[in-house]
Chains A and B, each alone.
Chain A
Amino acid sequence: VQLLESGGGLVQPGGSLRLSCAASGFTFSSYTMSWVRQAPGKGLEWVAHVTPDGRQQWYADSVKGRFTGSRDNSKNTLFLQINNLRAEDTAVYYCARDGIPYNGIYDAFDIWGQGTMVTVSS
């Protein structure tokens, strides 16, 4: 069971990025998937999650309207489109899996990727 993020990098304020999270070793289409970020030297912040069919997404207030979560179950991949980037979006972005297949309740995160770093700077 593995999650592997990619797509991070250095971007100017106002720019955009698309992060990806490739899943393997489990039935990806059965699990709600989340994005969690961690600014340098700071704590964890839940950012977004996407239900197994991709039809429902929830976002933290701090990113609502700028971040869009989606998934391609045929490719076992989760995405996070980040627009209008700000300095305060600088962080390591982790994808994480709910601990149980979705049953209407969002679970604790039992599998995490290694993270991808996003740096917003001019």
Chain B
Amino acid sequence: EIVLTQSPGTLSLSPGERATLSCRASQSVSSSYLAWYQQKPGQAPRLLIYGASSRATGIPDRFGGSGSGTDFTLTISRLEPEDFAVYYCQRYGSSPPLTFGGGTKVEIK
């Protein structure tokens, strides 16, 4: 089973700043089957990024994904007030389980 480790656990930043979130896999993620989700309190998760770097429908271009193999990054270029939330990475593809990382909370500094 591939284990995903997200860091940091909490990121304290101000609106307008750049956020860099990390997701490290215990084994190589094939074909970059890596997704990122955003979750706000009381809401279901929302797909942001799939295929490590492709933005989902309707996602602003301030959200960017990169990486391959075992190291992946979600970057938010300039934080907007609505971006303060918890972010999860997920590995998907041909072989279950489809594991999630433990999450990174982006909070207002």
Is residue B93 contacting chain A, with contact meaning CB distance below 8 A?
Answer: yes
Q: A105-B93, A108-B35 are in contact. Are A46 and B50 (CB under 8 A)?
A: no
* B-side contacts of A49, CB under 8 Å: 96, 98
Which residues of B are interface residues toward A (Cβ below 8 A)?
1, 33, 35, 37, 39, 44-47, 50-51, 56-57, 88, 90, 92-94, 96-103
Q: A46-B99, A107-B50 are in contact. Are A112 and B94 (CB under 8 A)?
A: no
Q: A43-B100, A94-B44 are in contact. Are A104 and B50 (CB under 8 A)?
A: no
Most buried by A among B44, B46, B56, B94: B44
* A-side contacts of B46, CB under 8 Å: 112
Query: Would you call B44 and A112 a contact (CB within 8 A)?
Result: yes
Contact bitstring A83-122, B, C-beta under 8 A = 1, else 0:
0000000000010000100001111111011110000000
Nearest first, the 4 A-B pairs at minimum CB distance are A108-B35, A58-B96, A112-B44, A108-B50
